Amino acid sequence: MSVSLVLIVVMAALYACGVFLLLERSMTRVLLGFLLVGNATNILILIMSGRRGAAPIVDGQAPPVDFADPLPQAFVLTAIVITFGISAFMLALIYRSWRLAQADTVADDVEDLEIGRRGVPAEEEDSQGDGDDESGGESEFGDRAEAAVPADATHRVAPDDPGAPASARPRSTPTDESENA
Amino acid sequence: MSFLVPLVVLVPLLGSAAALITGRRPRLQSILSIVALGVVVVISLVLLVVVDTQGAIAVQVGGWEAPYGITLVVDRLAALMLSISSIVLLAVFVFSVGQGQADGDGEAPVSIYNPTYLILATGVFNAFIAGDLFNLYVGFEILLVASYVLITLGGTEQRIRAGVVYIVVSLVSSVLFLASIGMIYGALGTVNIADIAQRMDTIPADVQTIIHVMLLTAFGIKAAIFPLSFWLPDSYPTAPAPVTAVFAGLLTKVGVYAIIRTETVLFVESNVNVYLLIIALLTMVVGILGAVAQADIKRLLSFTLVSHIGYMIFGIALGTVEGLAATIYYVVHHITVQTTLFLGAGLIERRGGTASITRLGGLLKAAPIIAVLFFIPALNLGGIPPFSGFIGKVALFEAGARLDDPLVYVLIGAGALTSLLTLYALMRAWNLAFWRPKADVEDHESPFTEHLEEAPHRVAVQQKRTNPRTMVGATAGMVLVSLVLTFAAGPLYGVAERAAGRVYGSNEYVQLVFPSGEGETQTETSSPAPTPAGGPADEGSAP
């Protein structure tokens, strides 16, 4: 089975960029990374489908031996549709996240942060009126445990902290910003 | 009876469409959804009986022959999974209808919830009956996309946060699965599971290993086995109680089911069993140690869920028919019990206003029915005789002890330890939430709770609500199902044993899909009797 080198290089580049973006914090970049990885996988399937050939249309003219394998193309089509649907959902999710917190970043796992903050005096965390999603913020572990996360890391992510309230900021800001832009 | 097979997927799919149309009439919508799920329960049970008495059914959809078309296979394993998952889906749906009627539309818009839930059911059923890997992938995607919607239902900040983690992890697993399908197609030229099993011997061993590990990684993320399990306790507890219950019961088990198929049909002569045993050990121990440190009941249950996946991987990794039979019984038991416990946790959270066991108290007097409904599955999960958890664990240990291997004995020890720690964690939760008098809740000091991990960002006490009869009834129904699993353990274990005997070694599976030689057959077949050895499978596997 001879394979086009260009396709392989493209696939490798897409995978590399895609994985790099998937590991980013910004959700938009995660989405872009997912798109790249998805397309890299589509190219992988295309590579795996073997040699190139005629369009697989049975019209009695081209002998079936010359046909390209149509099945992987059907796989790729299905995969593209699925990727499309998920991208749409992710975009909606990003928009919702932006409306709520005005940040499109992947928020910290509160549990991890809490473990990291042990020993650090509990931060003042506003609470918001959103059912069961708000926090007491107090740590009952006192200062027995050491901080597992360096202090600067905690500070760096602090603006994205899900505890940081959306309601504390003016709701109208998104529209203001978009008007300015 | 083969016409029943596609209906398992079609009925919930059409039900979902109907539910979407009737979105403005919640009552009609709920009734339609319940009818759809009820029909699937009936079909699944009929299929289970038919398959168990007359042999497995393979359907070539649209009449396209086996290696080219879409094959649906219902053998005993698939029929068993269909039956138990449809029962669980129905019970949880009744529970959520009750919750929706009690709480109104605010937190979980029913018009969205019902169709999505049915789509989730479609995906689960499709994954169970898929006869080729690509259809399995599509089944996974259907259920995953539905689960993305369900886990972020309502779009609150915490759910979005947990949902993003869950979604990104699932996406990675899906892409990995799709990539391994591509590799398999490149190596073998087919995605039909039976066809792959036939041709697997023709490719070099290293390529086999690459494909094998890729598939196991992709399924391992979904099944939440040890190094790939950390997304689960983070994302599940934030969803609404019924959603968490159905996720915990079914989604991980779909991954386990895919691993069973991989290990028993695709890669029969597997060389990864030792690694799987070690992974099973770590999954059990690490998971349960996490559970012991939790104060929030839902988080605690999520960790026990991860931990008990280890038992199933243990049974699969044994690589014997007895081990697989025990695994199948254990999967059925665990689906039922874990779902029941999560439903119970939902009831506790509503009644007590919080799910944190450091703040709950005095519930035995306030809600004796919930106490019983939580107590029975808790004992069951911990493996107290005579419940089904005990039967499943004993069967697993017995199957392991037959191998007489030092590593397996270590695993049996770890399994027993995990079982005890499960019992400890759940009984402590029960004691604190139900047994402890209400007056003791403030300033309660105990060496057993001082290291508990309080779920952060959770309010002290929410609004306390009574539980409507539908919710309690659905939970009671699930407890009843788990008791039936106990009382009917003999016949059920017989089915599991026959299922394992048939699944093991790809011969039966291959002959089912290719009844007389490769491909050149009638479109719809059911093979009533086991064919003698030396059939087409043996020819096919010759290099």
**pLDDT band per the 50, 70, 90 thresholds, residue B521:** very low
Residue B25 C-alpha from the chain's centroid: 32
Whether residue A75 and residue B182 make contact (CB cut-off 8 A), yes or no, is: yes
> What torsion do the CA atoms of B415, B418, B422, B424 make, to the nearest 10 degrees?
120
Mean residue pLDDT of chain B comes to 83
Radius of gyration of chain B (CA): 23
Assess B203–A contact: CB distance below 8 Å, yes or no.
no
**Rounded (5°) CA angle B100-B103-B104:** 70
- pLDDT tens digits along B383-409: 888 888 899 999 999 999 988 888 899
Lookup result for tokens 């979980």? B108
In whole angstroms, give the CA distance from residue B448 to residue B425: 10
Most trustworthy range by pLDDT among B46-60, B64-78, B82-96, B360-374: B82-96
User: Per-domain residue ranges for chain A?
Assistant: 5-55+67-101, 110-180
In whole angstroms, give the CA distance from residue B90 to residue B481: 12
Which range (A122-136, B139-153, B409-423, B525-539) has the least confidence? B525-539
Q: Is the pLDDT of residue A173 over 50?
A: no
Interface contacts (A, B; CB < 8 Å)? 126
Give this complex's ipTM: 0.81
Taking a C-beta distance cutoff of 8 angstroms, is the pair A96, B155 a contact?
Answer: yes
Taking a C-beta distance cutoff of 8 angstroms, is the pair B323, B499 a contact?
Answer: no
Spell out which residues of chain B touch residue A130, defining contact as CB-CB under 8 Å. 156-157
In whole angstroms, give the CA distance from residue B462 to residue A14: 48
For residue A167, the chain B residue with the least C-alpha distance is: B157
Which range (B249-258, B326-335, B468-477) has the least confidence? B468-477
Assess B167–A contact: CB distance below 8 Å, yes or no.
yes
Tell me the HSE value of B185 on the side-chain side, using a 13 A CA sphere: 29
DSSP readout, B73-93?
EE-HHHHHHHHHHHHHHHHHH
- Nearest Cβ partner of B156 from A34, A85, A131? A131
Assess B186–A contact: CB distance below 8 Å, yes or no.
yes
In whole angstroms, give the CA distance from residue B216 to residue B222: 10
Whether residue A166 and residue B157 make contact (CB cut-off 8 A), yes or no, is: yes
B60 pairs with which residues across the strands?
B71
Q: Is the pLDDT of residue B432 over 50?
A: yes
Whether residue A136 and residue B460 make contact (CB cut-off 8 A), yes or no, is: yes
- The larger pLDDT score, comparing residue B271 to residue B332, is at B332
Please report the pLDDT score of residue B337 as a whole number: 92
Eight-class DSSP state of A169: S
Q: Is the pLDDT of residue A124 over 60?
A: no
- The larger pLDDT score, comparing residue A128 to residue B400, is at B400
B286-305 residues touching A, CB cutoff 8 A: none
Q: Percent of chain B scored above 70 by pLDDT?
A: 88
Per 3-state DSSP, chain A is made up of helix, strand and coil in percentages (nearest 5) of 55, 0, 40
Q: Is the pLDDT of residue A166 over 60?
A: no
Q: Is the pLDDT of residue A129 over 60?
A: no
- Nearest Cβ partner of A86 from B145, B152, B156? B145
Residue A97 C-alpha from the chain's centroid: 13
Please report the pLDDT score of residue B90 as a whole number: 93
CA–CA distance from B236 to each of B52, B126, B182, B464 (Å)?
35, 23, 31, 22
In whole angstroms, give the CA distance from residue B313 to residue B324: 10
Please report the pLDDT score of residue B12 as a whole number: 93
Most trustworthy range by pLDDT among A46-60, B73-87, B93-107: B73-87
Taking a C-beta distance cutoff of 8 angstroms, is the pair B151, B110 a contact?
Answer: no
Whether residue A136 and residue B457 make contact (CB cut-off 8 A), yes or no, is: yes
**pLDDT band per the 50, 70, 90 thresholds, residue B27:** confident
Structure tokens at B266: 């695709």
Assess B185–A contact: CB distance below 8 Å, yes or no.
yes
In whole angstroms, give the CA distance from residue B257 to residue B78: 9
In whole angstroms, give the CA distance from residue B401 to residue B88: 32
- pLDDT tens digits along B226-253: 888 888 888 888 888 889 999 988 999 9
Please report the pLDDT score of residue A104 as a whole number: 66
B453 pairs with which residues across the strands?
B294
In whole angstroms, give the CA distance from residue A88 to residue B415: 43
Q: Is the pLDDT of residue B426 over 80?
A: yes
DSSP readout, B373-412?
HHHHHHHHHHT-TTSHHHHHHHHHHHHHHTT--HHHHHHH
Give burial (CB, 10 Å; 0-12/13-18/19+) of A150.
exposed
Please report the pLDDT score of residue B525 as a whole number: 37
In whole angstroms, give the CA distance from residue B471 to residue B108: 16
Per-residue pLDDT, averaged over A154-169, amounts to 42
Q: Is the pLDDT of residue B367 over 50?
A: yes
Which range (B101-105, B227-231, B368-372) has the least confidence? B101-105
In chain B, the number of structural domains is: 1
Per-residue pLDDT, averaged over B113-117, amounts to 89
Residues 6+ apart with CB under 8 A from A148: A115, A116, A118
Q: Is the pLDDT of residue B123 over 90?
A: yes
Task: Please give the model's pTM, rounded to 2 decimal places.
Answer: 0.82
**pLDDT band per the 50, 70, 90 thresholds, residue A152:** very low
Residue type, B538: D
Whether residue B182 and residue A72 make contact (CB cut-off 8 A), yes or no, is: yes
For residue A163, the chain B residue with the least C-alpha distance is: B457
Spell out which residues of chain B touch residue A131, defining contact as CB-CB under 8 Å. 107, 156, 462
**pLDDT band per the 50, 70, 90 thresholds, residue B26:** confident
Number of alpha helices (DSSP H) and beta strands (DSSP E) in chain B: 22, 3
**pLDDT band per the 50, 70, 90 thresholds, residue B308:** very high
Multiple choice CATH, A5-55+67-101, 1.10.287, 3.30.160, 1.10.150, 1.25.10 = 1.10.287
**pLDDT band per the 50, 70, 90 thresholds, residue A24:** confident
Q: Is the pLDDT of residue B526 over 60?
A: no
Query: Nearest-CA distance from B171 to chain A in Å?
Result: 8
Q: Is the pLDDT of residue A179 over 70?
A: no
Please report the pLDDT score of residue B70 as a whole number: 84
- pLDDT tens digits along B455-514: 555 554 556 677 788 888 888 888 888 888 888 888 888 888 888 877 665 567 777 777
Radius of gyration of chain A (CA): 24
Task: Give me the domain span that covers residue B369.
Answer: 272-487
Q: Is the pLDDT of residue B320 over 90?
A: no
- pLDDT tens digits along A54-94: 777 777 777 777 788 888 888 899 999 999 999 999 998 88
Whether residue B165 and residue A163 make contact (CB cut-off 8 A), yes or no, is: no
In a domain, B527, yes or no: no
Taking a C-beta distance cutoff of 8 angstroms, is the pair B314, B282 a contact?
Answer: no
Please report the pLDDT score of residue B516 as a whole number: 60
Please report the pLDDT score of residue B453 as a whole number: 61
